[in-house]
A = this chain, B = another copy of it.
């Protein structure tokens, strides 16, 4: 059965669409009262991630409220370090903690590659369940963290301001850092391919901390492994292409490098106008973004005005997936999200030619 709404997949491949598709990073999240209720029921964040029925429930919550063009798996990028034995937990009100941070060569040498269908079976079960519940209404996006981003958490043992241990390892023992990143890239290929086999119809790689590196170190320690992963990924499944989005937060200096990896789309933060990004790389890839999440503190009129500005900046034609430039903030009023999504659909029609999905020439 074909997807009822395939705008996201079409836009990621720069094929014609009727209106610009939109989804929102962290759309299943704390700004929604129904999410907070399910999280309370779960007891803690990790149980929410690890219980397929609950992960499915929160994944679908924003789709019930809003006419979104995609669902994204509810999970966390740290499921991989957890499956590698680093002992993930979340303390209330604080960030994630990995109880066994990596500091020695012996620890890195001993790391095993998780079998996603055993060690991360709960993720695959959630995907299967979500696909069934979605019933081909909109596509489901799977995701993972980049090797570099995961390495920072694994070495520091959690969130960090100064990346002390990570940078010490990078500068002092670059080969050991490469060993870790290579293992993570291998693990991520298996994990993402398993997500596709379970039902993910597009994939996104989150390189949250690539932007703390110099250009030289970004290319060597982050981008290189994004490229390696892209080469290992199944790009088609059951006759359908699986588009892949790369997102390096604070990475707008490196758009040309990201575009040259062979990905289908680049996620943009809100630093540069999307039209400028399109001029730099738009012939190679689609673009996702790039509204300042802070706009959702403004009034409905101001939000619509900003949507219009961004649509106009991208200009005519397909290849744009509307999104915020980073995750939605927990303080946002859910009504504002409805304003944003409706504005994208209403205001974008003029940027697309009328087309007939059944006509292959369209």
Residues of A whose CB lies within 8 Å of any CB of B are: 162-168, 170-172, 211, 213-217, 250, 252-253, 270-273, 276, 292-295, 297-299, 302, 306, 329, 331
Contact = CB atoms under 8 A, between A and B. Distances in A.
A270 to B, nearest CB: 5
Given A167-B292, A214-B270, A253-B271, A172 B299 contact: yes
A168 B292 contact: no
Nearest to A305: B171
Nearest to A215: B272
Contacts of A299: 172
B252 A292 contact: no
B167 A273 contact: no
Instruction: Name A's interface SS.
Output: helix
Contacts of A253: 252-253, 271-272
Contacts of A270: 214
Contact of A250 (B170, B250, B329): B250
A215 to B, nearest CB: 6
A344 B331 CA distance: 47
Contacts of A217: 292
14 contacts: A162-B294, A163-B294, A164-B294, A164-B331, A167-B292, A171-B297, A171-B298, A171-B306, A214-B271, A214-B292, A215-B272, A215-B276, A216-B273, A252-B253
Contacts of A273: 214-216
A253 B254 CA distance: 11
Contacts of A165: 297
A305 to B, nearest CB: 9
Nearest 9 Cβ contacts at the A-B interface: A167-B294, A171-B298, A168-B297, A162-B329, A214-B270, A172-B298, A171-B302, A167-B297, A214-B292
